[in-house]
């Protein structure tokens, strides 16, 4: 027999693959929480306090209970009084009001009309208490205490230092100082929050939730309800946007469960758009006092950052955001001395939480604005300054981050080159024009190999192959739109030599899927991908062994591609992989194919004393450059172009990576220019999508994405996470470009026309 050379078909890894759910989303066939219907389902509605701080003197629900169709009316006295949430300071329904969004009563009724009518008939008598709306005020002695049981309004303080800490600035040649302020922003997910709860006849609860953390929800919700975690099953409908919204248990879940229990019927709560603005968490508002110093030669020398975060009345996982802000301060660029202090403070404002980037957009804005300031003070090109101090591969930062792959320099150079850095014509305007153009740049460091903020950062996977060649991947991980299920299907398909469409991904039922800590920290493709690869390789090994026997070829000579197994050096030796699978089943001592994989990265929980430790198994880097045009008459900033260059290790699905980058940039654009909740005395003044200005398609500039591949040694196929890093540097790059355009630094986000005009006027009072 002649040996025929076997052509190598291209690998599935690195191919542009449309997201598996794209068609269903585009055609409206996908089932969101709103589409889940159960027989006998009731509508649940919540009554909010709408006073910022008060004792509840009495609640009269008697009239509400008489409304036809009302099946349950609950107040605090009907609910377990178990404190829940990250800060163990929240209750489903409150007996004391700590913010306007506090839930004081809830009803379940056969339809929305009856539910709203009942809400309107609940009479609550409040005894007002003095509120506190400013985090600095809240830290003053004698300030009203948000939680009476706590000694002060300071929930937690992060105090980190390396090198000489703040004293490092004493030995710097140039020091700059700034104050920054970032207010409230919201997720503005297109899908408002939903929850469905049903108790079975054995007293077990099933909850349908667009959560990002099904297993932590299982735990946290069971604790809030005072039942065993064994008796909570979490089902995840398709998720129409989350961005961190689903990282916590919020009162909606226990309220929904308690209504369902009281009514003995399934209850579904769907937030109205107002409610979505009011009752979900916000991005952590932060005020920062920042100093950075450098040596004359452009060596970054020291940083001293003091941050104050307004957590609102209940602490969420977002309270951990200083951990990430700290990474930007202590580890983005090589900096020998750093101090970082962050106070997380209770107030009677909105509840703040974790939003995509998890504090990194805020931290990066501070760091990269300060870097720009410092470069100007040094009289140094700011790209050159950044390149000189950029992180490099295989270095451990003083904070303990073990950087393996690192493409920061490449990203900076790509972004700079493609925005036209150093090209003097780009910034030229006729002196008579009221328009000024500028360019700016900013970089980011983001965890890209998980983030151990919980005891387990692991994820499990099971791969099975049926007789027909259908591959099922059961993954612990959660798809929230990031496209990781497609990447996981690609990894499975790559291992087994099948097509992506041959893989079904099962990922939405805690009864079925193995543990995963949840979708956060850009971890899914990295962590879940490793677990999938481990499971799929076990299945692969079994198939190849049998195929070798059937083909009469050594296992090492075989490759699996496009549903076939072939001897690499002999094209005549080929067999369809599903025939091999059937042959393994239909024989004496046969088997059906299934294998498990589990991956928990070799990382550390950050030490709570030193705040050091290698939290992630890999770090992603990126740089974005923006070109803007500022209208001197209106202050309006128009972004003309953004170049986004990101080190993603290996792009398993470049199309999805581009989607993440474009989505991140767009979110960063809103963060930079328009998205702000107007909050006055704890009340949101603009709770509509018309007034809360998410960028529309017309607002989004040309985004040039550059994928920098560094092939991480630990990541699956060299991949690193990319979910969050594209949102981090956008605002800083735009702010730096505005500085470049008009010579004025606006230190508060968003960069509204009003703020820019005010800054211009301060700079040159005669302009007007």
Using CB under 8 A, list all residues that contact a second copy.
23-24, 27, 29, 31, 35, 37, 39, 200-202, 215, 218-219, 222, 228-233, 455-456, 458, 460, 462, 464, 466-470, 472, 474, 501-502, 504, 506, 510-512, 514-515, 578, 585-586, 589-592, 594-596, 598, 600
Nearer to a second copy, 136 or 598 (CB): 598
Nearer to a second copy, 501 or 562 (CB): 501
The b/e string for 692-710 (b: 16+ C-beta within 10 A; e otherwise) is bbbbeeeeebebbbbbbbb
Minimum CB–partner distance for residue 201 and a second copy (Å): 4
Nearer to a second copy, 31 or 762 (CB): 31
Name the DSSP class of 6: P
Minimum CB–partner distance for residue 312 and a second copy (Å): 30
Beta bridge partners of 32: 238
Nearer to a second copy, 596 or 662 (CB): 596
Contact criterion met (CB below 8 Å) for 694 and 700 = no
Nearer to a second copy, 5 or 28 (CB): 28
Minimum CB–partner distance for residue 495 and a second copy (Å): 17
Minimum CB–partner distance for residue 229 and a second copy (Å): 3
Query: What are the structure tokens assigned to 125, written together?
Result: 């008598």
Nearer to a second copy, 467 or 562 (CB): 467
Minimum CB–partner distance for residue 477 and a second copy (Å): 13
Contact criterion met (CB below 8 Å) for 577 and 496 = yes
Minimum CB–partner distance for residue 70 and a second copy (Å): 22
Beta bridge partners of 574: 566
Strands (DSSP E) along 483-617, which ranges?
503-506, 558-561, 564-567, 570-576, 593-599
Minimum CB–partner distance for residue 747 and a second copy (Å): 43
Minimum CB–partner distance for residue 552 and a second copy (Å): 23
Query: What are the structure tokens assigned to 231, written together?
Result: 């008796």
User: Residue 339: which region, alpha, beta or left (left: phi > 0; alpha: psi -120 to 50)?
Assistant: beta
* Residue 641 parent element (H or E): strand 637-649
Query: Which of these, 353, 359, 361, lies nearest to 187 by C-alpha position?
Result: 353
Query: What are the structure tokens assigned to 626, written together?
Result: 């923006």
Minimum CB–partner distance for residue 186 and a second copy (Å): 29
Minimum CB–partner distance for residue 423 and a second copy (Å): 46
Minimum CB–partner distance for residue 26 and a second copy (Å): 8
Q: What are the helix (H) ranges across 321-381?
A: 321-331, 360-378
Minimum CB–partner distance for residue 36 and a second copy (Å): 11
Nearer to a second copy, 185 or 535 (CB): 535
Nearer to a second copy, 10 or 39 (CB): 39
d(CA 458, CA 282): 28
Cα 608–Cα 405–Cα 476 angle in degrees, nearest 5: 65
Size of the chain, expressed as the number of residues it contains: 768
CA end-to-end span of the chain, whole Å? Answer: 90
Nearer to a second copy, 6 or 489 (CB): 489
* Cis status of the peptide bond prior to 750, with omega within 30 of 0: yes
625: Cβ contacts below 8 Å, ≥ 6 apart: 415, 416, 418, 419, 421, 439, 440, 441, 642, 643, 733, 737
Nearer to a second copy, 64 or 270 (CB): 270
Nearer to a second copy, 556 or 588 (CB): 588
Q: Tokens 């099946």 map to which residue? A: 71
Query: Which of these, 185, 181, 377, lies nearest to 281 by C-alpha position?
Result: 185
Query: Which of these, 527, 548, 512, lies nearest to 723 by C-alpha position?
Result: 527
Nearer to a second copy, 428 or 586 (CB): 586
Strands (DSSP E) along 134-199, which ranges?
154-162, 174-182, 194-199
């Amino acid at each position: 027999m002649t040996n025929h050379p076997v052509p190598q078909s291209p690998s599935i890894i690195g191919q542009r693959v449309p997201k598996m759910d794209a068609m269903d989303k585009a055609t409206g066939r996908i089932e969101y929480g709103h589409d889940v219907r159960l027989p006998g389902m009731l509508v649940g509605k919540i009554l909010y306090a709408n006073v910022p701080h008060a004792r509840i003197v009495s609640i009269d629900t008697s009239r509400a209970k008489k409304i036809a169709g009302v099946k349950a009316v609950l107040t605090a006295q009907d609910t377990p009084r178990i404190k829940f949430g990250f800060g163990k300071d929240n209750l489903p329904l409150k007996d004391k009001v700590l913010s306007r969004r506090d839930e004081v009563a809830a009803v379940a009724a056969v339809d929305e009309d009856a539910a709203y009518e009942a809400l309107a008939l609940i009479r609550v008598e409040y005894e007002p208490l003095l509120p506190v709306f400013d985090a600095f005020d809240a830290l003053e002695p004698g300030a009203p205490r948000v939680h009476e049981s706590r000694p002060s309004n300071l929930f937690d303080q992060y105090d980190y230092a390396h090198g000489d800490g703040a004293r490092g600035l004493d030995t710097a040649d140039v020091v700059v100082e700034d104050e920054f302020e970032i207010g409230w922003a919201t997720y503005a997910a297109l899908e408002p929050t939903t929850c469905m709860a049903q108790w079975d006849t054995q007293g077990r609860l099933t909850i349908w939730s667009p959560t990002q953390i099904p297993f932590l929800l299982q735990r946290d919700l069971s604790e809030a309800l005072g039942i065993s975690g064994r008796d909570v099953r979490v089902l995840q409908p398709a998720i129409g946007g989350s961005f961190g919204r689903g990282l916590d248990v919020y009162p909606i879940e226990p309220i929904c469960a308690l209504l369902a229990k009281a009514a003995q019927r399934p209850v579904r709560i769907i937030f109205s758009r107002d409610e979505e603005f009011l009752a979900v968490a916000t991005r952590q508002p932060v005020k920062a006092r920042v100093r950075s110093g450098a040596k004359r030669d452009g060596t970054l020398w020291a940083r001293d950052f003091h941050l104050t975060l307004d957590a609102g009345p209940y602490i969420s996982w977002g309270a951990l955001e200083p951990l990430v802000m700290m990474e930007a301060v202590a580890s983005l660029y090589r900096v020998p001395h750093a101090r970082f202090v962050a106070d997380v403070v209770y107030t009677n404002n909105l509840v703040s939480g974790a939003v995509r980037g998890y504090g990194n957009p805020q931290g990066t804005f501070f760091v990269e604005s300060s870097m720009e300031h410092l470069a100007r003070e040094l009289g140094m090109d700011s790209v050159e300054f950044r390149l000189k101090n950029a992180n490099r591969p295989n270095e451990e930062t003083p904070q303990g981050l073990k950087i393996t792959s690192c493409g920061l320099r490449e990203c900076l150079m790509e972004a700079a080159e493609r925005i036209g850095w150093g090209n003097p014509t780009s910034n030229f305007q006729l002196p008579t024009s009221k328009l000024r153009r500028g360019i700016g740049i900013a970089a980011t460091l983001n965890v890209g190999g998980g983030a151990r903020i919980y005891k387990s950062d692991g994820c499990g996977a099971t791969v099975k192959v049926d007789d027909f060649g259908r591959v099922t991947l059961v993954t612990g991980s959660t798809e929230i739109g990031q496209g990781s299920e497609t990447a996981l299907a690609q990894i499975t398909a790559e291992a087994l030599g099948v097509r992506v469409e041959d893989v079904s991904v099962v990922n939405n039922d805690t009864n079925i899927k193995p543990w995963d800590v949840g979708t956060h920290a850009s971890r899914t493709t990295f962590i879940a991908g490793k677990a999938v690869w481990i499971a799929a390789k076990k299945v692969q090994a079994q198939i190849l062994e049998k195929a070798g026997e059937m083909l009469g070829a050594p296992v090492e000579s075989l490759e699996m591609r496009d549903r076939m197994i072939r001897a690499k050096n002999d094209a005549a030796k080929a067999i369809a992989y599903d025939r091999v699978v059937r042959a393994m089943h239909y024989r004496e001592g046969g088997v059906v194919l299934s294998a498990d994989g589990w991956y928990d990265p070799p990382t550390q929980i950050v030490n709570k004393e030193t705040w050091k430790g290698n939290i992630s198994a890999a770090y992603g880097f990126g740089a974005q450059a923006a070109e803007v045009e500022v209208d001197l008459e209106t202050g309006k900033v128009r972004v003309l172009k953004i170049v986004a260059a990101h080190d993603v290790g290996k792009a398993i699905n470049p199309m999805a990576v581009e989607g993440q980058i474009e989505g991140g940039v767009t979110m960063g654009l809103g963060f930079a220019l328009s998205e702000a909740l107007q909050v006055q005395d704890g009340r949101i003044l603009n709770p509509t999508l018309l007034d809360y200005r998410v960028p529309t398609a017309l607002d989004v500039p040309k985004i040039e994405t550059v994928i920098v591949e560094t092939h991480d040694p630990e990541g699956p196929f060299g991949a690193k996470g990319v979910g969050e890093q594209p949102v981090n540097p956008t605002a800083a790059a735009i702010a730096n470009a505005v500085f470049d355009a008009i010579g004025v630094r606006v230190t508060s986000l968003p960069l509204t026309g009003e703020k820019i005009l005010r800054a211009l006027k301060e700079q040159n009072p005669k302009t007007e």
